[in-house]
Amino acid sequence: MIITYGSSTERLARRTAEIGNLRVVEINRRLFPDGEQYLRLLGDVEGEDVAVFQSLGLNPDRSFMEYALLVDALKGAGCRSVTGVVPYLAYARQDRRFNKGEPLSAKIIAKLIESAGTDRIITIDMHLHRFRDINEVFDIPATNLTAMNLLAEYYANSHDACNSVVVGPDGESEQWAKIVADKLSARCHVLEKERLGDREVQISDTASIQGARAVLVDDMISTGKTMIEVIIRLKAQGVRHVDALVTHSLMVDDAYPKLRGAGLSELISTDTVEGPQSLVSVAPVLAKALKH
């Protein structure tokens, strides 16, 4: 297996290659004056199996186009197969036509990845709420890994998790909250959420959550509106310390200072989307997956 990478995920690709003792093929890339992307492989991949690392966070349209160009370049250079390693898969949250006239974007992004020439796909904590399994979304072999064990292990080793309660902000987060609660030997409480728009949510009552420390768990934070409402409620009822564990930290609309202002003590995330809170690397689980 050889690894190459898009511009959004170079560090993670190199970490994974180091752990897995895998060769990295470098890329020469630049922009044409009108904004079109150009790239060229700088190594021989003929007859090889290649993993392309590219997260689709923060600038998903440009990142996907770069990914498609990479896959085509690899296939044109004679590689045997391409495994797409897309740690954060954008467009997965629209997994149903909620209103008439809307696209089913989860299926669309899957078809685009497949049509680019991808033979296999690996994601991490993909939004799978209305689909039971990632293989209901993709027609190629697909694996959805989780970072929650790594996040829980990091938290247990760096914090006093005694008497903590793990809180999932909505039903979609239950699968991840239960993993963390089990690892921390903590109670688990899952709330209900009603989304009022792209940036507004309403959360069910948190009065039954008691304890000195709460650990919020979810797959991603974008604007942080859901987390902020939960934090404010928890602090108001006497929870002194609130931390958050999330796989994908997108942090748009000044989300982090708003979370801190609401009373969040610490946010711990992974390098599926690189940022200041990326304290945990998913490279170990990816290196293991690429060996199989």
For residues 106 and 130, the answer to whether their CB atoms sit within 8 Å is no
In angstroms, the CA 84 to CA 114 distance is 9
Any catalytic annotation for residue 193? yes
260: tokens are: 């801190």
Distances (CA, A) of 203 to 87, 191, 234, 265: 28, 7, 12, 20
Q: From the candidates 75, 183, 193, 225, give the one annotated as an active-site residue.
A: 193
Instruction: Give a three-class secondary structure readout of the chain.
Output: CEEEECCCCHHHHHHHHHHHCCEECCEEEEECCCCCEEEEECCCCCCCEEEEECCCCCCHHHHHHHHHHHHHHHHHCCCCEEEEEECCCCCCCCCCCCCCCCCCHHHHHHHHHHHCCCCEEEEECCCCCCCCCHHHCCCCCEEEECCHHHHHHHHHHHCCCCCEEEEECCHHHHHHHHHHHHHHCCEEEECCEEECCCCCEEECCCCCCCCCEEEEEEEEECCCHHHHHHHHHHHHCCCCEEEEEEEEECCCCCHHHHHHHHCCCEEEEECCCCCCCEEECCHHHHHHHHCC
8: tokens are: 């959004």
| Catalytic positions, written as ranges | 193
